[in-house]
Amino acid sequence: MFAKWSHSIKLRHKLFVSYLAVTLIPLTILGVYSYQQSKKVQLEQANIVLQDNLRKIDDSLSYKMQRFDSAIELISYNPNFSHIFNEEYKSYYSMYIDLKEIVDPLINTTTFLNSDIGRIVIYTENNLTERFNSIMPIADVEKEHWYGDAMESLDTHWYVEDGIVFGVRRIFGDINYEKKNLVYVELIPDFLPNSLNLPDLHEAAAVIADGAGKVVYANGPVSGKTADAAALVEQRLQGTVGEQPDYVWLHRDMRETDWSLSLIVPAEDLTISPWKILRATLIIEAVCIAALLLVSWIFSRVFVRRINRLNHKMKLVEEGTLTISLKAHAGDEIGELESRFGKMLASINQLIEEGYKSKIIQREAELRALQAQINPHFLYNSLSVINWKAIDAGAMEISRVAGILSSFYRTTLNQGKDLILVKDELLNTKSYLEMQLIMHDDNFDVEYEVDDGILEQQMIKLVLQPIVENAIEHGIDQKRSGRGLLRIGGRIGDDGNTLVFTVEDNGPGIPADVAEEVLVKQSRGYGLRNVHMRLQVQYGAEYGVGIASELGRWTRVSVTIPGNALYSNAR
């Protein structure tokens, strides 16, 4: 389809499209390459900035967590704390004095020095007076999921639940103490949001995950979808998802805990808008296109105009004007085409003049020969019939035969004219068929289906009679069983501009290969090929004889000629 379209458009448009493609393709490739390279450089620079931000966040968090661990260790390894929370008091006053002078000052001082610590609670198995904000029975937390790990470990364990960060650690005493005690340090609610704040990266998300790769906290939007960012990091850490080209993901393990810290940012937020590069490219292309339009217009005025002039003269020749003058105005390829076309046109004119004269003489001789080739056996047989009919019958029968012969020869000769009315051509054919019926003892039937509207039309003579003769000889006479039937039809063609005659017999039919050769090979006598050639000489190559047949059933010969058409060369 593309080849058909490209062949149908004009050369000027092809030149324009070619120059447009030559201009746009490199510019487009350059624009895409520039955008990709700039995006790559921007991502590399952004990665450096993100790594620096990630390192700073890690340093800050690690420093704070180290301070918190130191505060917790100060409490858990304090010997006074170990004594207070493991020794059973018998005097409430002594317990009150120890809590007021030892426990409360240390907890308050630790909280005061660390503004990120929200509260410190000591969970104990000892029979101390409960204080809601500082001392609670250890039975309250024995069912927590972190209790077992905290009591069996020597380290501080950090957890995040509902956005709250807290650490737990066992309080150690000497070998004489067997009571269970642990310190619980809870950080303020804004600790992680403040620590993970990314003011310069509005679309970045900071995500903290535990040692198992499960996200414990996610801060900041990734296009407003923090949950999606957390899920993506969790899948990456657990190995259930591969690279995500739409995101930049940075990760590092934190020093003071078993947590890991991740930054995830949409790649598009780290690069400038591609429309800025595309806009610059489009402006350059628009300037190039404007210059191209001017150049192509000037070029077409010089180059295409000569081709149009040559094409116009070719069109005149196509329409039949063969006497035009054509001179070459340049020595390039177009000039050579003009020169050679002029020489070819002169040769054609000479050949047409010579061939026209010889063709006229040849066709006149052929037509005369065709008229002279009326089968003499028909005349002899007719005279023979007259003879035995005269002997065997009366004068009326002889008169009938003589009348038929007279009508036949009158329409055949037609006073030497080549054109004849359709009704006279049918009369000629009927006369011929009446003689054939007499000679065949009326052993076949003849049917006529001719529209009255075509009877006054004109056609060349001796068209139907040779076809009818051929149908009797090769169709009716070759039929081995049943009665022969000959149908002769005439009507106006479906297009309304032609006349169509048909001669159909119910004989044995003819093979397809034979039907194809009948009109191209010369046969004995006045055959279908001669009729076909006469029609094409008179009316043109689109008219003539057509053959259709079905073996064992029928053969139909059709003749198509123009209606109401008399050409200037008709005789």
Query: Does the pLDDT of residue 92 top 50, yes or no?
Result: yes
Q: What is the mean pLDDT of residues 540-551?
A: 89
Average pLDDT value for residue range 296-325: 70
| 317 and 461 co-located in one domain | no
Same domain, 339 and 403: no
Kindly state whether residue 155 falls inside one of the protein's structural domains. Answer: no
Largest CA distance in the chain: 175
Q: Which residues contact 307 (CB under 8 A, 6 or more apart)?
A: 11, 334
Helix (H) or strand (E) holding 182: strand 181-187
Residue 199 lies in a domain: no
CATH number at residue 552: 3.30.565.10
CB 499 within 8 A of CB 525: no
Q: Write down the residue that tokens 């004594």 correspond to.
A: 83
Mean pLDDT of 306-311: 72
Q: Whole domain around residue 516: which residue ranges?
A: 376-562
Average pLDDT, the chain: 76
**Model pLDDT for residues 123-132, shown as the tens digit of each residue:** 988 878 787 6
Same domain, 394 and 512: yes
- Domain end (from 342, 367, 392): 367
Tally of domains within the chain: 2
The C-alpha atoms of residue 220 and residue 203 are separated, in whole angstroms, by 7
Which residues, listed in sequence order, are joined to residue 181 by a DSSP beta bridge?
124
Contacts of 538 (CB under 8 A, 6+ apart): 460, 567, 569, 570
Residue 386 confidence (pLDDT):
67
Looking at the domain assignment, is residue 353 inside a domain? yes
Do residues 299 and 436 share a domain?
no
| Cα separation, 335 vs 350, whole angstroms | 23
Structure tokens at 349: 């004119």
Same domain, 313 and 456: no
Note whether residue 270 is domain-resident.
Answer: no
Report which of 556, 367, 374, 543 is spatially closest to residue 466, judged by C-alpha positions.
374
Q: Which residue shows structure tokens 């209790």?
A: 147
| 481-490 CB burial, b ≥16 within 10 A, e <16 | eeebbbbbbb
Residue with token string 């092809």: 14
Residue where one domain finishes, among candidates 308, 334, 367 = 367
Q: What percent of the chain has pLDDT over 70?
A: 68
CA-based nearest residue to 181, from 90, 105, 110, 83: 83
Q: In this structure, is residue 557 part of a structural domain? A: yes
The verdict on residue 438 lying in a domain is yes
Residue 490 confidence (pLDDT): 94
Tokens of residue 48, six digits: 């450096």
**Position 537 in a domain:** yes
Tokens coding 7: 């062949």
Measured CA to CA in angstroms, residue 220 lies from 158, 203, 371, 431, 482 at distances of 22, 7, 108, 110, 103
348/345 Cα distance (integer angstroms): 5
Band (567; pLDDT cuts 50, 70, 90)? very low
Nearest to 24 by CA among 225, 238, 243, 286: 286
Are 407 and 541 found together in one domain? yes
SS3 523: coil
Q: Which of 31-45, 130-144, 359-373, 459-473 has the highest mean pLDDT?
A: 459-473
Query: Residue 380's pLDDT is what?
Result: 46
Q: Looking at the predicted structure, is the pLDDT value of residue 367 above 60? A: no
pLDDT of residue 438: 84
Both tokens of residue 220? 């900041």
Does residue 121 lie in a domain region? no
- 397 and 360 in a common domain: no
Domain co-membership, 430 together with 543: yes
* Pair (401, 486) in one structural domain: yes
Binned at pLDDT 50, 70 and 90, residue 11 comes out as low
Given 347, 367, 387, the domain boundary residue is 367
Q: How far apart are CA 127 and CA 131, in angstroms?
A: 12
Please tell me which residue, 512 or 330, carries the higher pLDDT value. Answer: 512
Does one domain contain both 398 and 513?
yes
Task: Tell me: do 539 and 401 sit in the same domain.
Answer: yes
Both 394 and 363 in one domain: the answer is: no
Q: Tens digits of per-residue pLDDT, 213-266? A: 777 787 766 555 455 667 777 777 766 665 666 677 777 888 777 788 887 777
pLDDT recorded at residue 501: 95
Helix, strand, coil share (%) of the chain residues, nearest 5: 55, 20, 30
